[in-house]
Structure 1
Amino acid sequence: MRRTPVFVAALAIALALSACASGPGGPPPSGPSVVPSAPHAEGGPIDLVGLWRVADAAGEADATWLRLDAGEFQLWRDCGMVMGSWRAGHELIAAFAYAASGECTAGGAVPAVPWLDATVSYEKDGDRWILRDAEGDVTASLFVDGAPEPIETAAEFYTEPPVIDARVREHFAAASALPPALEPVTTESLVGRWVPRESYPSDPHVDVSPEGTWTGSDGCNGGSGRWAIGDAGDLFVTAGPSTLIGCEGVNVPWLFANASLAGFDGGELVLLDRDAEELGRLTRG
């Protein structure tokens, strides 16, 4: 299986971020800068959207911020930024770092963020968000406190908190209910190796680990990320960039990463989008 090393993705994203006219959602609007402040509470994971000072996180310096936007994050460190994706539901959160900019790319690899990898839940505590691991131990706390200094390898609007607008609200809209004919997946039942119903020599698959990570392939292009299971079949999957090599197979990583609901129809794993429309079916392999 051929894969592009992860530092290539990191470099490509770093170059994109360095242009002020580029980045998710295009250039920032003109006008005065947004002063970091606590976002208006709307309820649910959308309340995590903001620019937060990071404290109580093992291995992080004092000058560390975490910017949470719709589906993506930027972790500001002294060396630059670490970027990735995140998904969250009621009290559950999964985040996956897949790129970096500035001196954070030294060594040609994405820096490890162990405390963020270990985070599986969040809760409000006064003016702070408390992040916890699977054992309930605190991995970090997030609070509003200033902003990082601009750097050459990132557009300046990344130093400002995201605006909670229609785009953000649409991203966090609740998923439909799992169809009653399907049995909701659980953490235990989802773990394992899953393949398409039809066999392919290229071996498309996804391997779901009990540690909350997953890896997979469409037969030529690899994928990876993190996952979490909520109530009644709610599925929260993060993923990084992938290569685009064409070959015979099924894009199993795409099916898994884009699913918001998962259930069983007999022995088949059924993956559905946020509107409960079926994306595909997999079997144990």
Structure 2
Amino acid sequence: MWTPVGIGAEPASVVGLTPEELTVYQTCGELQAAWKADSQGLFIADVMSSSDGCDPDTRVAWLDKAAGYRVDGRTVVLVDVDGATIAHLVASGKPLRPDRESFEVPAEFRRSFAPPAVLPAGLTPVVRQDLPGRWVPVSDGPKPPNQPYLAFGTDGRWAGSDGCNGSGGGWVSGPAGTLLATTGITTLVGCDNVPVGSWLSSARRAGLDGATLVLLDQNAAELGRLRRDDSDPDITTSPSGE
């Protein structure tokens, strides 16, 4: 449990963190967020749902801006993409809900914080400025009803489609091509799809092979390749149900 300090005019809140989710406790109720972090100092959290009287479309400004962290004793300092401090998370007392008083941190979760394998030779690490825009898979794989794509926004949000189902979330990149992305609720239409959203949510590094974007997992295994698509200038990071 953590108390955010230095968040300006945001409502007073407490943050609960478990391996499964990040919960923001506010006066209206709870906001549930997906989150990821790594040992390189990247951090991202994305509010996905709410309970009680909280508006399901509520955004938490300071949390949306967070792109990294550093640990200072018992305080976690959240920073934005430029390294400026967004908030301090100060270790708090008892949890607000007794059923969350204890939980296990599984070995798989701990392993996810290990530094990812380096990029294979021949790939150039992506930097944040490389990603914004619309990307489509280059493989000659399945032919779903609609064009699969990933659209990265300059605001740290992404949206996409596997050809049948829309999805979206947040993204953040770091040194040497490190990459983290959260994924929210998606539709479940069955089709012969291209799982570009799964590629992104599983990615830990990204590189460029010429003009081709290559997404790689924790072990530098290739997840998928995409090319930039400039045919649709109307880039949106609001998930669609394609």
TM over 0.5: yes
1:93 lines up with 2:43 in the alignment: yes
Contact residue 145 and residue 164 of structure 2 kept, 8 A: no
Secondary structure in 2 matching 1:227: strand
2:137 partner letter: P
Contact residue 144 and residue 164 of structure 2 kept, 8 A: no
Unaligned 5+ segments in structure 2 are: 230-242
The equivalent residue for 1:223 is 167
The equivalent residue for 1:153 is none
The equivalent residue for 1:194 is 135
Secondary structure in 1 matching 2:117: coil
1:191 partner letter: P
2:212 to 268, 276, 280: 268
1:235 to 167, 176, 179: 179
2:148 to 199, 204, 216: 204
Call closer, same or farther: CA 1:142–1:276 in 2, change over 3 Å: same
2:87 to 140, 148, 164: 140
Unaligned 5+ segments in structure 1 are: 1-50, 151-155
The equivalent residue for 1:122 is 69
2:127 partner letter: T
1:234 partner letter: T
Two-structure CA RMSD over aligned residues (Å): 2.2
- 1:149-160 map, 5 Å: 149-150=96-97, 156-158=98-100, 160=101
Contact residue 70 and residue 171 of structure 1 kept, 8 A: no
Task: After superposition, give the CA deviation of every residue in 1:218-261 in whole Å (9 maximum; x if it has no partner).
Answer: 12211111111122111111111211102343121121121111
TM-score where L is the length of structure 1: 0.72
Q: Which has the higher strand share?
A: 2
Secondary structure in 2 matching 1:249: coil
Contact residue 235 and residue 262 of structure 1 kept, 8 A: yes
Task: After superposition, give the CA deviation of every residue in 1:197-236 in whole Å (9 maximum; x if it has no partner).
Answer: 2476501101011221111111221111111112211111
Equivalents in 1 of 2:37, 2:80: separation in Å?
14
Contact residue 71 and residue 171 of structure 1 kept, 8 A: no
Kindly state the Cα deviation for residue 161 of structure 1 after the two structures are TM-superposed: 5.9
The equivalent residue for 1:84 is 33
Call closer, same or farther: CA 1:128–1:161 in 2, change over 3 Å: farther
Secondary structure in 2 matching 1:149: coil
Aligned-residue sequence identity (percent) comes to: 37
Equivalents in 1 of 2:28, 2:136: separation in Å?
40
TM-score where L is the length of structure 2: 0.83
Kindly state the Cα deviation for residue 271 of structure 1 after the two structures are TM-superposed: 1.0
Kindly state the Cα deviation for residue 171 of structure 1 after the two structures are TM-superposed: 2.8
Contact residue 260 and residue 273 of structure 1 kept, 8 A: yes
Kindly state the Cα deviation for residue 162 of structure 1 after the two structures are TM-superposed: 4.7
2:191 to 239, 243, 247: 247
Alignment coverage as a number of residue pairs: 225
Higher mean displacement: 83-92 or 176-185 = 83-92
Contact residue 172 and residue 181 of structure 2 kept, 8 A: yes
The equivalent residue for 2:6 is 56
Kindly state the Cα deviation for residue 195 of structure 1 after the two structures are TM-superposed: 0.2
The equivalent residue for 1:73 is 22
1:111 lines up with 2:74 in the alignment: no
